[in-house]
Structure 1
Amino acid sequence: MSTTQSERLRGLLEPLVSSKDLDLEEVTVTPAGKRRVLSVVVDADGGVHLDTCAELSREISEKLDETDAMGSGEYVLEVTSPGADRPLTQHRHYVRAVGRLVKFQLTPEAGPGELVARILKVDEEGLDLEVPGVKGRKATARRIAFADIAKARVEIEFNRKNKNEEEA
């Protein structure tokens, strides 16, 4: 049974990432000229601080040097958190996006193809959403099952009120 370099690296790095109470979201190795770029994407419920990424980067670098997992060629190591508009692919991603506006691509069985709504609640079967009203209409509630979601991505909101402003 053959494993890819990314899978081997994931197995090597997962314990380091987990020891920091982080989730290892993605490990990729891509060519960049004569070098390669090893990108390690981590996340946590409260987000990931820059200092945590820097500390983890040093530890990963040491581990890679000890094991020679990247071979003898040159590489650049990037340790980062997912972007603000990251795709939602796992249950924990939806939980972390509660309160955020999300653009959903629905499966053909679920009805019309696209939906933009705010996640209010997540459980094991699906999501409770608030669909914003259009042209002065009130927002409406909607429930969708995970099985009805083909793709989902957080929408960036530049003028979103924070919870303190909404309560005032």
Structure 2
Amino acid sequence: MSTTQSERLRELLEPLVQAQGLDLEEIAVDSVGRKRVLRVVVDSDTGADLDRIADVSRALSAKLDESDAMGQGEYTLEVGTPGAERLLGEHRHYVRATGRLVKFQLAEGGELVARILGVDDEGLDLEVPGVKGRKATTRRLAFPDISRARVQVEFNRKDTKDMKEEEEA
């Protein structure tokens, strides 16, 4: 997809997504055989349930039908959320990942897996899990020290309520 088409689609669709109380995270047009697929990724601080996804999908579809942004050929519109193992790139992504385990690729080399405890304008407060029975430690990580960050899937993840109860005990 050309940068021009991407920018045009963003300009066309972003106000509709924002009107639904969501952030437009990503737009991608892929060719699948003879058809094209327009993938739109949305999110918010409170998440996006199926009803909100359906509402924004209908709004985007109507806007795309009345414009020529996708040209004359057939295409499929897919609207979804970033998914469980999302990449973190914007400040709001880190805020939304507070309490989650994240794998960081460090700018100086190496990697770190830690839970985000807090986020401010300069960086992150992290909890680094203990190894071999040792206690977890805290660490500060500045944004410039991060080259890449991805949320990790946790099958036995404690929710925020469980974490607060442990801290109070």
Which amino acid in structure 1 is aligned with residue 7 of structure 2?
A: E
Q: 1:57-112 CA deviation, whole Å, 9 max, x = no partner?
A: 1111110111121111000000101011000001000000000000000011xxx5
Greater shift, 145-154 or 59-68, is seen at: 59-68
Aligned to 1:53: 53
- Kept in 1, the 8 Å contact 2:99–2:160? The answer is no
Q: 1:113-145 CA deviation, whole Å, 9 max, x = no partner?
A: 100000001000000000000011000010010
Unaligned runs of 5+ in 2: none
Q: CA RMSD in A?
A: 1.3
Aligned to 2:103: 103
Are 1:164 and 2:161 an aligned pair? Answer: yes
Please report how far the alpha carbon of residue 5 of structure 1 lies from its aligned counterpart in structure 2 after TM superposition.
1.0
Aligned to 2:125: 128
Which consecutive aligned stretches of 4+ in structure 1 deviate over 4 angstroms post-superposition?
A: none
Partner-residue secondary structure (3-state), 1:76: strand
Aligned to 1:31: 31
Which amino acid in structure 2 is aligned with residue 131 of structure 1?
A: V
Cα distance in 1, alignment partners of residues 151 and 96 from structure 2: 11
- Kept in 1, the 8 Å contact 2:16–2:60? The answer is yes
Which amino acid in structure 2 is aligned with residue 39 of structure 1?
A: R
Unaligned runs of 5+ in 1: none
Cα distance in 2, alignment partners of residues 65 and 133 from structure 1: 54
| Map 1:1-168 → 2, pairs under 5 A | 3-108=3-108, 113-166=110-163, 167=165
Partner-residue secondary structure (3-state), 2:161: helix
Which amino acid in structure 2 is aligned with residue 132 of structure 1?
A: P
Which amino acid in structure 2 is aligned with residue 76 of structure 1?
A: T
Which amino acid in structure 2 is aligned with residue 73 of structure 1?
A: G
Please report how far the alpha carbon of residue 3 of structure 1 lies from its aligned counterpart in structure 2 after TM superposition.
4.8
Percent of aligned pairs with the same amino acid: 68
Which amino acid in structure 1 is aligned with residue 146 of structure 2?
A: I
- Kept in 1, the 8 Å contact 2:39–2:78? The answer is yes
Partner-residue secondary structure (3-state), 1:4: helix
Q: 1:41-67 CA deviation, whole Å, 9 max, x = no partner?
A: 000001101111111111111101111
